[in-house]
Amino acid sequence: MKAKKILIIDDEPAICKALQISLKSEGFEVDTAFSAKEGIKKFKGFLPDVVILDLRLPDSDGIKVMESIKAIERDTIVILITAYGDTKTAVEAVKKGAYDFITKPFDLEELKITLKKALKEKALLEENHILKSLQGKSAFITKDNEILNFFSQIENMANTDCPILIEGETGTGKEVMAKMIHESSDRRTKPFIPINCSAIPANLFESELFGYEKNAFTGATERKKGLIELADGGTLFLDEVGEIPLELQAKLLRFLEEKAIRRVGGLNYIPVDVRIISATNRNLKEEIERGNFRRDLYYRLCVVNFKIPPLRERKEDILPISEHFLKVFNTQFNKNIKGFTEKAKEIFLDYSWPGNVRELRNIIERAVIIARGEYITEKELPLEMRGSIDDIVLEKYPKTDVIPLEELEKYHIKLALEKTGGNISKAAKLLGISRFALQRRIKKYFESD
């Protein structure tokens, strides 16, 4: 794990030395400066995460130094050291961007607590920033010509309000694309309301979508707005739209035609202005032929249609997306993994990715968590990605050799634990043995490694 950097700027060498010794013992990388001029110069070369800054320096005011630091790197944490009489000035400095201040003489443990709290808050802010960035255009990393061509049209179609149907397998990024369209439109300041149509029970679907009036049914103790009404002025994203119960498809069609809803138990129609974007992993034309989806609703939803190719058909995107998620999780877990070994890259490119980008994201997250070296190797990847038993177990033996049963058993135990996320009871069930028997084998094969 990369050590956090701290720069101490104070004209009292004794304070600098004491802080340096104490903070180095906590695992921080520490440098010191005894004047404003020296401090700013060292800041530019050292680029610390935190600056501990004396409010009174011989050649400048600490607030001016802080402003210079913030001009170079806005997100730097600045903690001020103040004399008792400077407290009012320190409060003003906090308003201008300082994280906190401590008063001389100060307690080292109190400073350490403040320091760790500041770094934790900064890490959370960085994580939130990264997660928000995943919702924007930059998160959809691709070299695919079809997708790039669709991106070029988003600006033109974003403000037309025409319904859009996005097709694609689970995990391809349909919701990310829907958010891109919303954020490119005039509706960007209004709500983006996603609805997972497969997750709402059929008996609750109407009340969830359209809302209900007080006493409309048993338990309706007050009026409730539905998800469509909550999206007024914004965008309604109907994910897995093919899962909407057939009997409710007519009501959704009426809303699309009349731009108004009626709550369950209500008498009046309420105008609602929303942009509809739908998504599905089903073939809706086939569902129409089977009688599971209304043809007229399909044509209302599918004014503009786009299909996101699965990841296995976009081999050129796999490694760039992997690098992107590596940066995300390096920051989230405070790691400094430099990349992937050539063998790991080869496995990524050979794998079929049935879960698409969502599966890739989860695998990178897991690999970053368990990795101990500078690079992610094949050892950090799930067993099913690494190949068959021939590739993993038999590589130790010539094809003419008999494989020891222990090797085969060890392999299958690893595979079962991998598939069940380490759940011993579920793994034992998969292997057809008792929990006790599996625990005994784990102790035999792995705890002695």
Higher pLDDT, 416 or 255: 255
pTM for the predicted model, two decimal places: 0.57
Least Cα distance to 277 among 303, 253, 296 occurs for 303
**What pLDDT, on the 0 to 100 scale, is given for residue 394?**
52
Q: At what angle do helices 62-72 and 87-95 cross, to 10 degrees?
A: 20
**For residue 1, is pLDDT > 60?**
no
Rg value, the chain, Cα:
29
Output the CATH code of domain 5-133: 3.40.50.2300
pLDDT band at 193 (very low <50, low <70, confident <90, very high): very high
Q: Are 245 and 134 in contact (CB under 8 A)?
A: no
Reported residue count of the chain is 449
Q: Which two tokens stand for residue 182?
A: 């919303």
Q: Please tell me the least confidently modeled range out of 204-218, 343-357, 432-446.
A: 432-446
**For residue 228, is pLDDT > 90?**
yes
Distance CA 137, CA 168 (A): 18
CATH of 312-387, one of 3.40.50.2000, 3.60.20.40, 3.40.50.150, 1.10.8.60: 1.10.8.60
Burial of 11 (0-12, 13-18, 19+ CB in 10 A): middle
SS3 at position 318: helix
Higher pLDDT, 384 or 41: 41
Q: Domain-by-domain residue ranges, the chain?
A: 5-133, 144-309, 312-387, 388-449
Distance CA 425, CA 35 (A): 63
Q: Which two tokens stand for residue 170?
A: 């689970």
The partner residues of 280 in beta bridges, in order of sequence, read: 167
Least Cα distance to 157 among 177, 176, 140 occurs for 177
Domains 5-133 and 144-309 equal at CATH topology level: yes
Q: What is the mean pLDDT of residues 376-394?
A: 71
Report pLDDT digits (tens) over 307-352.
999 999 999 999 999 999 999 999 988 999 999 999 999 999 988 9
CATH of 388-449, one of 1.10.3720.10, 1.10.10.60, 3.90.25.10, 3.40.50.720: 1.10.10.60
Q: What is the mean pLDDT of residues 419-448?
A: 81
**For residue 388, is pLDDT > 90?**
no
CATH superfamily of 144-309: P-loop containing nucleotide triphosphate hydrolases (3.40.50.300)
Distance CA 191, CA 442 (A): 51
- Neighbouring CB atoms inside 10 A of 243's CB total 19
Exposure string over 287-316, b if 16+ CB within 10 A, otherwise e: bbeeebbbeebbebbbebebebbbbeebee
